[in-house]
Structures are given as C-alpha cells and as structure tokens.
Chain A
Amino acid sequence: MLEHIELWQSQVMELKEAFGESILEVRMPRDFPVDVPVIYLEKKHLLEVLRFLKERECRYSFLSDITATDEQEEGLPWRFEVVYQLFSQISKLRIRIKVRVAEGETVPTSVPLWAGANWAEREVYDMFGIVFEGHPDLRRILMDQRWVGHPLRKDYALKGFQIFTDSQSIDPSWLK
C-alpha cells in the first residue's frame, strides 16, 4: 500500500486546492494506523467532493460502501462518522471519506451521484438514525417499519427484542 503514497498525496493535494476550506483533516497511511487516505470533510461540500473524486482524473467512480460508526465519546461535539469507501477501477486505489455529524444532524444524500447509494443510506438511517436530506425514500430497510430505536447505536442493547404479531403492510406508493 505504501508504494501508492505519492499518487495518493498528489490526489489529496488536488483535492485541497479545490476544496481547501472544507477538508478538516487528512490521515495518510504512513503517519496514522489507517490503510488508505482518510479525508474528514465538512458536510456542506460533501457532494462536490464526491463528484470531484468521481469525475476527475483520479476517477474514484466505484462506490464500495456507505456506512457509519457510532463514536460515542464524552465531550465531543459530534457522535457519528458517516464513512464513504470509494474505489478507482482505473488506478486500483481506494480512498475513504468521512463526515462527522452530531445527533440529529442531517447529511446530504449521494443518490444523485450513484443510484446504488439509495439502499446503503437507508440502511445507515435504519441502523443509526442518521437522516439523509434529499433522499427520495428514507425508510427503514432491514428492520420492520414499526421498529423503535436504531440497533447499531452503542446504547441499543444486543438483546433488545421487539415483537410484532403481524407482518408489516406495504404501501403501494413504495413501488418504483
């Protein structure tokens, strides 16, 4: 991985030139215990940065994953980190974008860039409760629609059962 460090550094320089003020922190693999460059962003320029990475020369056009982490630590102004894993099929490199949000804050949706982000964001909403603004259809996906609470949060018990006696009904407006 370290042999790609120069290419990554040049890509990060390009990104910093274009979006310098939104980039809060960059962690490169040589200096931090990470395997790919991790870029911490402010959420207001998230879509532009993702579009930049997707369409410019570095061509991180493959969205590998969208997920989130609950970093519930005392005294921090944010609680969750929404993680975007991008992959470039041309240069065979990966990069990770993270956006830190507090409880109740929303994140702009990446559905305009990748249609596949639709369900991934729904899963993040279902598991963590992070709302994606502009999402066409933000509903629960893995759990029953009537489920209360967000299971992957650190304060949700592993054995927090919720019983339903009938299966959920489908609203015909959900068909696309």
Chain B
Amino acid sequence: MKVVDWSKEDPDDLWGNASDERILVNIGPTHPAMHGALRMVAELQGETIEKSYCEFGFTHRAKEKLGENRTYHNFIVYTDRLNYCSALINNVVYAMSVEKLMGIELPERCIWIRMICCELARITDHLICIGINAVDLGAFSFFLYGFHQREEAYTLIEKLCGARLTTSYTRIGGLMADAPEGFEQELQAWVVKTLAVIEEMDRLLSNNKIWKKRTVGVGVFDKEDCIQYSFSGPNARAAGIDFDLRRDQPCMFYREVDFEVPILKNGDVYDRYRIRFEEMKQSLQILQQCASRMKKGPIWCEDKRVRIPDKDVVHNTMEGMIYHFKFFMQGFEVPEGEAYTQFEAANGELGFYIVSKGRAQAHRMRIRGPSFWHYQGLSRMIQGEKIADMVAALGSINIIAGELDR
C-alpha cells in the first residue's frame, strides 16, 4: 500500500498519474467488447500503449478440480463449457482422450459424424470470431450475416442432439444419438448456403478501405514470437507457421479427406481475419466430403465397459436396468495410465492430459486450452500500438473465456 501525502498530491489522482504524462487506464472486466470477462490495465503515453497487464480468472469454474471429482461420463457436460462457441469439438476431443486411455475402437459412422461435428463447430467458431472482431471495430451488419448462418447451423445441431450451444453430444465409445434421416442432405444444403454467405461477407469487408486501415499492420506477431508463446491454430498459421494437427498428426479420418491448410505470412490482424475465411472454406469442403461418404451403420463401439444400454434393453430387462443404474451412478473404471490427446480445435491445439489410477474418476484432468497461451501474447502484441488497435488485436486472437479460465 502506498502511503499518500494528501497535502502534496491530488486526491483524485488515484494512481499517481499527475506526476508524469502517462495515464493508467483500466479496461474491463466488464467492457463493451463481448469477449468475456477479461481485464487489462494499460499505461498510455498519449494514445500509445507503453506497458500493459492482462488479467483473467473472472470465469474460473474449477473444471480441472471437477474432473477429479466427477466420473468420466459426468464430465462430458463440463467439456461443452470450455470453448463454448464450438462445443462439439471439446466433446469430441474429450471422448477421444478417454477412449485412447481405454483402447477403444470406434465404428466408422461414429467417426464420420464426429468429424462433421468438428468441422461444423469450427465454422461456427470462426464466424463468431470474425463477427465480434468486426463489431468491435464498428462493422455491425457483418456480424449479423455470420450470426444468421450460425442460427442455421444451430438448427442442424439441434437435429443431432437437441441443444443449440452446449451440446454434450459425444459419449465415451459412441454418440448420444444417431444423425436423423435426411441429415446429410440438409447438411449439404447448409454448406452451399454458407459458402454463398461467406463470399458475400468477404465482399462486404475484406477490401474495405477502412477495415484495411484498421487491421493491416496492426498487432503483428511473427513466427518467432508464435513459437515462444506456443501459439497454434489460425493465429500461428497467419504468421507463417505451416502446421495443422489435422494434417500432421491426423486422427479420425482426416487422412482420407482432401483439404488444404491455408498459410499467410504477415501475422497481423488482417491476416488472422483472412485466414479464418480460408479455413471456413476448407471446412465446408471437408463437410461435403464427410456427408457424401458417410454410410449407415452402428454408432456405438461394443465394448462392454462403456456401452450405454439401449432404452428398450433398460426398460424391459432386469439386467439392463441394473447395469444402467450402476453405469450412471458409479461410472466405469479406466485402466491405469496417462495420455495427452490433442486436436486442432478452432482456436489452436486443444489437449486433454488425463492421468488415471484405475478408478472411476480421473486422478488429474488437465485441459490445455489454446486461448490461455494466446492471451499471454497479447501484452507483447500491443506494445507500442494505439489503444484502439488493442481492441482489434484482442478480437483477432479469439479469446474464449471458458477455455482461458477453465
């Protein structure tokens, strides 16, 4: 605590600003940019940021501690709330990580549906990211275009699992329910519509003089910085790091679909915005391929440890009822071991490091959220930039508070 001599200092000058020209400005945790509760304190010389301090923890929900106190099945619900803009990806990665520990193989249809979920979620996440980035800088109708396509995607997701945002769709060893009849055709129709909308959004903003002036050369984060701060995903690819976990450490059926990985080289806000457009187009291509290659079949693996019995078995047989009760009340045990499962989420590398001691609850459930590592780079990114550029930079790195604070 600083001891203040009020006879010499101005009582309204809470942080000692009057002594030099620098001003300390507090931004957040409630602020107009809808990025969640983040706090930044910036020391300004005029309008240029000299030093800054980023704080978070305002949405800390102790998911890692909950991971140690809930069964593996119960925890699926909490994984939605990590990157809530693309909840399906979190569900898929969590299910993959537990299946890796247990050594479970999945049937084909389940994997195709999971891939569809991942790419659908990736597109919705990118739409929100660039939409909010645009809203922060004043381009509001751009956001509404993207959001309408999100609503159409929500209709599709509702058909799959009944929920719009927090889906809890995957189960360990399978899925909650099969995709309904006609889902593939509706998905194809959505893909065509979304491609048209994305191109329209592109025409609206990408060559706009004001947008380019506000985003080109702003918040530059080059390759070396990206490696130092462990940036991954579109933020790293915009800086020129040619890396995508879907292509380089493929899981599911990513080896069998054709897609390209767009790379840009400047690492500024404009590139991060542009690369999300290109990634959305590639995701739409993957969706088309998955929807056309998906065939009918089972969606559950028949591993007795994790197979949730079907409802007709539960309601009509005694063993089914008892097994159902024990499964949901006590959970299943995962063999001892540890594994780190990673996937290319919409934001970057999402990883689950699970240490199991052979019980029905994890011993350690560590969630590696990409936004945590990206937010750390913000201080360095905005050093020397103007305060208005900070808003553009913050929007472009796509901080999701759920992933940041867990």
Interface residues of A (CB under 8 A from B): 32-36, 38, 61-65, 67, 69-71, 83, 85, 89, 92, 94, 96, 114-116, 118-120, 123, 127, 141-144, 151-152, 156, 158, 170, 172, 174-176
Q: What CA separation (Å) do A118 and B26 show in the bound complex?
A: 22
Beta-carbon contacts of B33-58 to A below 8 Å, as 1s and 0s?
00000000111000000011101110
Chain A residues whose CB sits within 8 angstroms of the CB of B131 once the complex forms = none
Interface residues of B (CB under 8 A from A): 15-16, 24, 26, 41-43, 51-53, 55-57, 60, 62, 64-66, 69, 100, 227-230, 232, 241, 243, 248-249, 335-342, 349, 351, 353, 355, 363-364, 366, 368, 372-373, 376-377, 379-380, 405
Do B60 and A143 touch across chains, with their CB atoms under 8 A apart?
A: yes
A92-B249, A172-B15 are known contacts. Are A33 and B351 too (CB-CB below 8 A)? Answer: no
Q: What CA separation (Å) do A123 and B52 show in the bound complex?
A: 19
Q: What CA separation (Å) do A120 and B228 show in the bound complex?
A: 13
| Distance to closest chain A CB from B322 (angstroms) | 29
Do A33 and B338 touch across chains, with their CB atoms under 8 A apart?
A: yes
Most buried by B among A120, A174, A175: A175
Q: What CA separation (Å) do A172 and B52 show in the bound complex?
A: 10
Do A116 and B229 touch across chains, with their CB atoms under 8 A apart?
A: yes
Most buried by B among A36, A62, A70, A123: A62
Residue in B26, B62, B342 whose CB lies within 8 Å of A64: B342
Across the two chains, which residue of chain B brings its CB closest to A114? B228
Q: What CA separation (Å) do A85 and B373 show in the bound complex?
A: 14
Residue in A63, A94, A120, A172 whose CB lies within 8 Å of B24: A172
Do A116 and B230 touch across chains, with their CB atoms under 8 A apart?
A: yes
Across the two chains, which residue of chain A brings its CB closest to B356? A33
| Distance to closest chain B CB from A138 (angstroms) | 15
Residue in B62, B100, B353, B373 whose CB lies within 8 Å of A116: B373
Chain A residues whose CB sits within 8 angstroms of the CB of B62 once the complex forms = 151, 158
Do A67 and B353 touch across chains, with their CB atoms under 8 A apart?
A: yes
Chain B residues whose CB sits within 8 angstroms of the CB of A176 once the complex forms = 51-53, 379
Chain B residues whose CB sits within 8 angstroms of the CB of A151 once the complex forms = 62, 65
A92-B249, A143-B57 are known contacts. Are A34 and B364 too (CB-CB below 8 A)? Answer: no
Chain A residues whose CB sits within 8 angstroms of the CB of B41 once the complex forms = 170, 174-175
A-B contact pairs, 6 of them (CB 8 A): A64-B340, A64-B351, A89-B248, A114-B229, A119-B376, A170-B55
Do A170 and B53 touch across chains, with their CB atoms under 8 A apart?
A: yes
Q: What CA separation (Å) do A118 and B54 show in the bound complex?
A: 13
Residue in A114, A152, A175 whose CB lies within 8 Å of B230: A114
Do A89 and B372 touch across chains, with their CB atoms under 8 A apart?
A: no
Do B379 and A152 touch across chains, with their CB atoms under 8 A apart?
A: no
Chain A residues whose CB sits within 8 angstroms of the CB of B26 once the complex forms = 170
Chain B residues whose CB sits within 8 angstroms of the CB of A156 once the complex forms = 65
Chain B residues whose CB sits within 8 angstroms of the CB of A114 once the complex forms = 228-230
Do B56 and A64 touch across chains, with their CB atoms under 8 A apart?
A: no
Q: What CA separation (Å) do A142 and B52 show in the bound complex?
A: 18
Chain A residues whose CB sits within 8 angstroms of the CB of B336 once the complex forms = 33
Across the two chains, which residue of chain B brings its CB closest to A151? B65
Do B337 and A33 touch across chains, with their CB atoms under 8 A apart?
A: yes
Q: What CA separation (Å) do A115 and B225 show in the bound complex?
A: 9
Chain B residues whose CB sits within 8 angstroms of the CB of A61 once the complex forms = 227
Residue in B57, B232, B364 whose CB lies within 8 Å of A141: B57
Residue in A35, A64, A92 whose CB lies within 8 Å of B368: A64
Residue in B52, B100, B366 whose CB lies within 8 Å of A67: B366
Residue in B53, B64, B355, B364 whose CB lies within 8 Å of A174: B53
A62-B227, A83-B353, A89-B243 are known contacts. Are A118 and B57 too (CB-CB below 8 A)? Answer: no
Q: What CA separation (Å) do A69 and B68 show in the bound complex?
A: 11
Do A35 and B340 touch across chains, with their CB atoms under 8 A apart?
A: yes
Do B366 and A65 touch across chains, with their CB atoms under 8 A apart?
A: yes
Q: What CA separation (Å) do A134 and B249 show in the bound complex?
A: 35
Do B230 and A64 touch across chains, with their CB atoms under 8 A apart?
A: yes
Do A142 and B228 touch across chains, with their CB atoms under 8 A apart?
A: no
Chain B residues whose CB sits within 8 angstroms of the CB of A38 once the complex forms = 338
Instruction: List the 10 shortest-distance A-B pairs measured between CB atoms, nearest first.
Output: A33-B337, A175-B51, A116-B229, A142-B57, A35-B339, A116-B230, A175-B53, A115-B228, A65-B368, A69-B364
Q: What CA separation (Å) do A92 and B355 show in the bound complex?
A: 23
Across the two chains, which residue of chain B brings its CB closest to A71? B363
Q: What CA separation (Å) do A67 and B354 show in the bound complex?
A: 12
Chain A residues whose CB sits within 8 angstroms of the CB of B338 once the complex forms = 33-35, 38
Most buried by A among B16, B66, B363: B363
| Distance to closest chain B CB from A17 (angstroms) | 26
A176-B52, A176-B53 are known contacts. Are A85 and B340 too (CB-CB below 8 A)? Answer: yes
| Distance to closest chain B CB from A90 (angstroms) | 10
Do B229 and A115 touch across chains, with their CB atoms under 8 A apart?
A: yes
| Distance to closest chain B CB from A88 (angstroms) | 11
Across the two chains, which residue of chain A brings its CB closest to B406? A142
Chain A residues whose CB sits within 8 angstroms of the CB of B342 once the complex forms = 64, 94
Chain B residues whose CB sits within 8 angstroms of the CB of A92 once the complex forms = 248-249
Q: What CA separation (Å) do A83 and B373 show in the bound complex?
A: 17
